[in-house]
Chains A and B, each alone.
Chain A
Amino acid sequence: MKRRSLFLTTSATLGFIFLYAPMIALVVYSFNKSKLVTVWGGWSLKWYGELFRNEQIIDAALLSLKIAFISASVAVVLGTMAGFVLSRFGRFRGKMVLSGWISAPLVMPEVITGLSLLLLFVAMEGMFGWPSGRGTGTIIIAHVTFCMAYVAVIVQSRLSQLDETLEEAAMDLGAKPSSLFFLVTMPLIMPAIISGWLLSFTLSLDDLVIASFVSGPGNSTLPMVIFSKVRLGVSPEVNALATLMIAVVAIGVIGAMYQMRRQSKLLASDE
């Protein structure tokens, strides 16, 4: 028994090292003074300075944040609707179609999604004159489409765990469907909606392939700029950028865990 758990712990630990070693190296080398990325030249913040003076990167980052914010917000609305419909409306015409379409973007190779959306936009422009040209708007539409799938899955799984008697009680007491949703169901699934928004925001911020297909000239998102830099080799500025992103994510995740722990403690003390 002891030996088996030792084997298990060792292999799992190796797994975690595999997950974290490259990221730790990235963080450490972002503080490297030397221009040669692998030669250690002492601690320095110089690449962070370079990063903030690089207007191309700053502009792309701002554009990406804007796209991610709008896409996540629209995707949350549409995805919540889809997840709600699929788990609470029982049987209805078109349910199979909707449930198939909503889960397909999760596994679809990105190159196919990107290509098909671009060809759609081009065909629509030829027929209706809309969207005229491609840019921020088309990237947002593309991101909403694949993000809403993730939101729908999260909302659906939360709803399936939820006790329906609360909703039934509200109905028996005469709540209208709209007030039932906004006053009873939505507060109950709020954690799912928030994590769906955060996930959509991250996915949108991170997308390279689909954005490359559907963006127009002069609309480079942050991943597109990073990709063109990184293609030529390792760059210390990108290390600094990666470190900042890792820091933001780590703070966010730790904060969320702290919040969850506090809430579960509060719940425990209520009982």
Chain B
Amino acid sequence: MSTPTGSAWVDGSGSRLAKFNFFRRINWGRFSVVSVPTLWLAIFFFIPFLVVFKISLSETAIAVPPYTSLLNWDVEESYLNLKLNLGNYFYLFEDTFYLDAYLSSIKIAGISTVFTLIIAFPIAYLIARSKPSSRALLLSLVILPFWTSFLLRVYAWMGFLKKNGLINEFLLGAGIIDQPLIMLQTDFAVYIGIVYTYLPFMVLPLYSALEKMDMTLLEAAEDLGSRPATSFFLITIPMAVPGIIAGCMLVFIPAVGEFVIPSLLGGSDTLMIGRVLWDEFFLNRDWPMASAVAIVMLIVLVLPIMLIRNSQGKEEAV
């Protein structure tokens, strides 16, 4: 996001009023407006990651809280011992269970993201090309499900996909199948759940990219003899790229760490890392291991994507 220059709020950039203010008082107001949200995020967003990292290097203990401390003061020998346990990380790479869980989460999230894009594109395109008067209505139709409970939207699909659920009843009744399909507790159900719940996150950025597109470009291409399909791939898609990237990121990253969807719609063999972390924490009460899982997820997955986004943001600002 680029900042407008010449803003009335900029001080030190030559604004007459800002200089005046500077001599009147050392902008305590300004200082506190900046520092309150920054401090809040430092304490409740940034420092927690350092704590997670620290605990990922400790060992499980039967204690409250259930992990050992890293620093130990040896009174007799006057040694300050720093004990770092890398065992959790070694174990993460030794046991293929975790590697499988990471890979399968990336696979499930990736496939779901592609399907979300395929379903969201026509919706976004239709809204962007409809009359301005009906745009607001169509957009709110897309957003409305987003305002209702995420958990209940996932739950709605349980009733749909069950063995004696609506889809099976319908297909059996119509005589298309004679055995109920097993859909709930499969990876298929997880794909549907992710596509369904994350659809608005894809439609909105796509819409805002497509809305800015100049439709006369398509007319020009048609006049020059381009077929609709060709102009779609050569003009519309490239124009929508910023929206596609933003939408895919908003769907892919949270989907990788998804817990609710695989545990309600997936089977016991649906392996996703968010669920592994949850079980490690709540069932095994192995806090250090859960922390190591989180740190690896953060380093492998979240950080690279955030760095890419930041560098793109800078390019846009330049």
Any B CB within 8 A of the CB of A53: no
Instruction: Give every chain A residue within 8 A of B158 (Cβ-Cβ).
Output: 230, 233-234
- Indicate with 1 or 0, residue by residue over B132-153, a CB within 8 angstroms of chain A CB atoms: 0000110011111101111111
Q: Are B46 and A101 in contact (CB under 8 A)?
A: yes
Q: Are B40 and A148 in contact (CB under 8 A)?
A: yes
Minimal beta-carbon separation of B318 from chain A (angstroms): 15
Q: Are A242 and B156 in contact (CB under 8 A)?
A: yes
**Interface of A (DSSP majority class):** helix
Q: With the chains together, A213 CA to B125 CA distance in Å?
A: 40
Q: Are A245 and B149 in contact (CB under 8 A)?
A: yes
Q: Are A223 and B151 in contact (CB under 8 A)?
A: yes
Among B1-18, those with CB < 8 Å from A are 1, 3-5, 7-11, 13, 17
Q: Are B122 and A257 in contact (CB under 8 A)?
A: no
Among A171-220, those with CB < 8 Å from B are 171-172, 177-178, 202, 205-206, 208-209, 212-213
Q: Are B126 and A38 in contact (CB under 8 A)?
A: no
Q: Are B254 and A107 in contact (CB under 8 A)?
A: yes
Minimal beta-carbon separation of B296 from chain A (angstroms): 11
Instruction: Give every chain A residue within 8 A of B142 (Cβ-Cβ).
Output: 19
- Indicate with 1 or 0, residue by residue over B250-271, a CB within 8 angstroms of chain A CB atoms: 1001101111100110000000
Most buried by B among A12, A18, A234: A12
Q: Are A98 and B41 in contact (CB under 8 A)?
A: yes
Decide yes or no: A205 and B149 within 8 Å by CB, A15-B123, A38-B165, A250-B144 being known contacts: yes
Instruction: Give every chain B residue within 8 A of A91 (Cβ-Cβ).
Output: 3, 10, 13
Decide yes or no: A8 and B122 within 8 Å by CB, A88-B7, A120-B47, A126-B65 being known contacts: yes
- Count of chain B residues with Cβ under 8 Å from any Cβ of A? 94
Minimal beta-carbon separation of B245 from chain A (angstroms): 13
Q: Are A89 and B9 in contact (CB under 8 A)?
A: yes
List the B residue with the shortest CB-CB distance to A20.
Answer: B145
Most buried by A among B5, B51, B165: B51
Q: With the chains together, A99 CA to B37 CA distance in Å?
A: 11
Any A CB within 8 A of the CB of B224: no
Contact among A112, A171, A261 with B257 in the assembled complex (CB-CB below 8 Å): A112
Given contacts A89-B7, A164-B7, 18 further A-B contacts (CB under 8 A): A15-B199, A90-B3, A97-B38, A100-B306, A104-B306, A107-B302, A110-B257, A112-B302, A115-B281, A145-B41, A160-B4, A177-B21, A208-B150, A208-B260, A213-B281, A223-B149, A249-B147, A257-B136
In the complex, 17 of the A-B residue pairs with CB atoms within 8 angstroms, ordered by the A residue number, are A8-B125, A12-B126, A15-B119, A15-B122, A22-B159, A26-B159, A109-B258, A111-B278, A115-B290, A119-B52, A119-B55, A119-B287, A226-B149, A231-B263, A231-B264, A242-B149, A249-B144
Binding site for B on A (CB under 8 A): 1, 4, 8-9, 11-12, 15-16, 18-23, 25-26, 29, 37-38, 78-79, 81-82, 84-92, 94, 97-102, 104-112, 115-117, 119-120, 122-123, 126, 141-142, 144-145, 148, 152, 156, 160, 164, 167-168, 171-172, 177-178, 202, 205-206, 208-209, 212-213, 223, 226-227, 230-231, 233-234, 238-239, 241-242, 245-246, 249-250, 252-253, 257, 260-261
Binding site for A on B (CB under 8 A): 1, 3-5, 7-11, 13, 17, 21, 29-30, 33-34, 36-38, 40-49, 51-52, 55, 65, 119-120, 122-123, 125-126, 136-137, 140-145, 147-153, 155-160, 162, 164-166, 169, 196, 199, 228, 249-250, 253-254, 256-260, 263-264, 274, 277-278, 281-282, 287, 290-291, 294, 297-298, 302, 305-306, 310
